[in-house]
Amino acid sequence: MTTISASDFRKCPGLFLEKASREPVDITNHGRRESVLMSAEHYDWLKSAAQRAHRTVDTTDVVLAAVERADFDGP
């Protein structure tokens, strides 16, 4: 992941917008990570993934029972 300072971003935003279309770009301010610039497609994917996540407290008893019976040791 590319990391840049906020002042470098202000000098050449087009370059970093292009980089962000390929991978997220960390933007720092006074050495601290402050923002992440990413493509709209990546943002939409993250947002969708977050909506699909489920809390274990909301898991039904049937699913919990199946997990308890499952063998996770593998081959």
Q: What is the pLDDT of residues 22-66, one digit of tens each?
A: 999 999 999 999 999 999 999 998 888 777 766 777 777 877 777
Q: Given this model, what pLDDT does residue 66 score? A: 77
Q: Which CATH number fits domain 2-69: 3.40.1620.10, 3.40.190.80, 1.10.10.10, 3.40.50.920?
A: 3.40.1620.10
Contact of 8 with 34, CB cutoff 8 Å: no
For the chain, domain boundaries: 2-69
Q: Given this model, what pLDDT does residue 73 score? A: 57
Q: Would the pTM count as exceeding 0.85?
A: no
Q: Given this model, what pLDDT does residue 1 score? A: 84
**Cβ neighbours of residue 23 under 8 Å, at least 6 residues apart?**
1, 2, 38
